[in-house]
């Protein structure tokens, strides 16, 4: 195998920018990453002003559904729990169909019970005729924490219509919050690097280790090695590459 010179971060960014330039020739991967970071900082600033006073958060308004959900995910990350989105409803108060989502929400990811959970009171008298060969770790505790958003007719923006923020489980410690499912993300530069490493025949483990080194540690990457593996698997399926 021939030795190759190490690739600098400037070369990586330039390559990603060339690959992601659109029809207009103006938007690049770094542009997208900067835009996402800017939105993230704006939302983080909003989170800091949220007290437990209902009158304060009732005054918050969100331009889009995505903005509202991203805000709640950032709040959840700051507190130490992960979020599951609840489906949006495209109907008016008179139950007539409309073009925009009027209602949506988010729940703690520990809402409900796992199938066959021994912690579920409803399963006390249940006898499993075919025991499972592998016992899954309990990760749901019927948590009732939920938030609901509704479209305001006058402003055409979303507001928080109800919010229950009481959890019946331990919060995830700060050292592990970057691995919460709803907060794991992979930016365009990272995708470009993964594609490049994969084409070069570098293993997933070695590729992920390289990303960790570039980010200054595993905790700064933003996703797990399993996410890395799933990204390659999904791309193979989409491109029909076996």
* More confident: 17 or 212: 212
Token couple for 174: 């700060």
The residue-averaged pLDDT of 133-161 equals: 78
Q: Cβ distance 161 to 150 under 8 Å?
A: yes
Token couple for 219: 């905790």
pLDDT, averaged across the chain: 70
* More confident: 34 or 18: 18
**What is the C-alpha separation between 117 and 128, in angstroms, rounded?**
11
Q: What angle do CA 82, 221, 170 make, to 5 degrees?
A: 25
pLDDT digits (tens, 9 = 90+) for 73-107: 888 877 778 888 877 666 666 666 667 788 888 88
Provide, rounded to the nearest whole percent, the portion of the chain with pLDDT above 70.
Answer: 53
Q: What pLDDT, on a 0 to 100 scale, did the predictor assign at position 149?
A: 92
Q: Cβ distance 102 to 159 under 8 Å?
A: no
Q: What pLDDT, on a 0 to 100 scale, did the predictor assign at position 34?
A: 38
pLDDT digits (tens, 9 = 90+) for 204-230: 889 888 888 888 887 778 788 888 888
Q: What pLDDT, on a 0 to 100 scale, did the predictor assign at position 118?
A: 58
User: Which one-letter DSSP state was computed for residue 183?
Assistant: G
* More confident: 113 or 24: 113
Radius of gyration of the CA atoms of the chain, in A:
22
pLDDT digits (tens, 9 = 90+) for 165-193: 878 877 777 766 666 766 677 888 888 88
**What is the C-alpha separation between 170 and 164, in angstroms, rounded?**
16
pLDDT value at 24 more than 80:
no
φ/ψ of residue 88, rounded to 5: -80, 150
What residues are paired with 103 via a beta bridge?
89, 150
**What is the C-alpha separation between 166 and 56, in angstroms, rounded?**
18
**What is the C-alpha separation between 77 and 40, in angstroms, rounded?**
12
């Amino acid at each position: 195998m021939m030795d190759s010179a190490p690739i600098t971060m400037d070369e990586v960014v330039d390559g990603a920018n060339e690959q992601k330039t659109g029809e207009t020739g103006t938007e690049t991967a770094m542009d997208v990453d900067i835009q996402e970071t800017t939105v993230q900082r704006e939302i983080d600033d909003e989170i800091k002003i949220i007290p437990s006073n209902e009158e304060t958060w009732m005054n918050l308004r969100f331009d889009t559904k995505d903005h509202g959900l991203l805000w709640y995910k950032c709040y959840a990350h700051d507190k130490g729990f992960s979020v599951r989105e609840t489906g949006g409803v495209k109907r008016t108060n008179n139950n007539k169909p409309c073009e925009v989502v009027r209602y949506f929400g988010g729940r703690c990811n520990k809402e409900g019970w796992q199938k066959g959970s021994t912690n579920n009171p409803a399963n006390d008298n249940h006898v499993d005729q075919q025991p499972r060969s592998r016992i899954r770790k309990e990760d749901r505790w019927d948590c009732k924490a939920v938030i609901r958003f509704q479209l305001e007719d006058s402003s055409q923006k979303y507001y928080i219509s109800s919010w229950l923020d009481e959890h019946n489980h331990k919060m995830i410690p700060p050292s592990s919050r970057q691995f919460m499912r709803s907060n794991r993300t992979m930016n365009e530069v990272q995708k470009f690097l993964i594609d490049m490493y994969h084409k070069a025949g570098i293993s997933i483990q070695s590729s992920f280790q390289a990303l960790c080194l570039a980010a200054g540690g595993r905790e700064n990457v933003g996703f797990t090695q399993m996410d890395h593996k799933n990204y390659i698997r999904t791309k193979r399926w989409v491109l029909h590459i076996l």
